[in-house]
Amino acid sequence: MSFTLQLGEAAKDFSLPATDGQTYSLASFEGAEALVVFFTCNHCPYVLGSDELTRKTAERFMPKGVAFVGINANSATTKPEDSFEHMVARMSEHRFPWVYLRDETQEVAYAYGALRTPHFFVFDRERKLVYTGRGVDNPKDAGRVTVSDLENALEDLLAGRPVRVPVTNPIGCNIKWEGRDAHWMPPEACDLVL
CATH number for the domain harbouring residue 108: 3.40.30.10
Residue 2 lies in a domain: no
Neighbours of 90 (CB within 10 A): 20
The arithmetic mean of pLDDT across residues 114-119, rounded, is 96
**d(Cα 158, Cα 164) in Å, to the nearest integer?**
13
Residue 115 buriedness (CB in 10 A; 0-12 / 13-18 / 19+): buried
User: For 160-188, how does the pLDDT look when each residue is reduced to its tens digit (9 = 90+)?
Assistant: 999 999 999 999 999 999 988 888 887 77
Q: Give the pTM.
A: 0.95
Task: Provide the number of structural domains found in the chain.
Answer: 1
pLDDT band at 194 (very low <50, low <70, confident <90, very high): very low
The span from the first CA to the last CA of the chain, in angstroms, equals 16
Q: Is residue 17 part of a domain?
A: yes
Distance CA 178, CA 180 (A): 6
Per-residue pLDDT tens over the stretch 49-97: 999 999 999 999 999 999 999 999 999 999 999 999 999 999 999 999 9
Virtual torsion, Cα 144, 149, 150, 154, nearest 10 deg:
130
Higher pLDDT among residues 193 and 3, named by residue = 3
In a domain, residue 184? The reply is no
- Cβ neighbors of 170 (< 8 A, separation 6 or more) are 115, 116, 118, 119, 120, 132, 133, 134
Mean pLDDT confidence for 127-141: 97
194 within a domain of the structure (yes/no): no
Chain center to CA of 191 = 19
| DSSP per residue, 126-182 | T-BEEEEE-SSS-TT-GGG----HHHHHHHHHHTTPPPSS-B----SEEP--TTS-T
| Residue 153 resides in a domain | yes
123 alpha-carbon distance from chain centroid? 12
Question: Which pLDDT band, with edges at 50, 70 and 90, does 193 fall under?
Answer: very low
Q: Is 179 a member of any domain?
A: no
- 122 lies in some domain: yes
The answer to whether residue 50 sits within a structural domain is yes
Residue 190 pLDDT level (bands cut at 50, 70, 90)? low
The full 3-state SS of 93-134, as one line of letters, equals HHCCCCEEEECCCCHHHHHHCCCEECEEEEECCCCEEEEEEC
User: Which domain range does residue 160 map to?
Assistant: 9-174
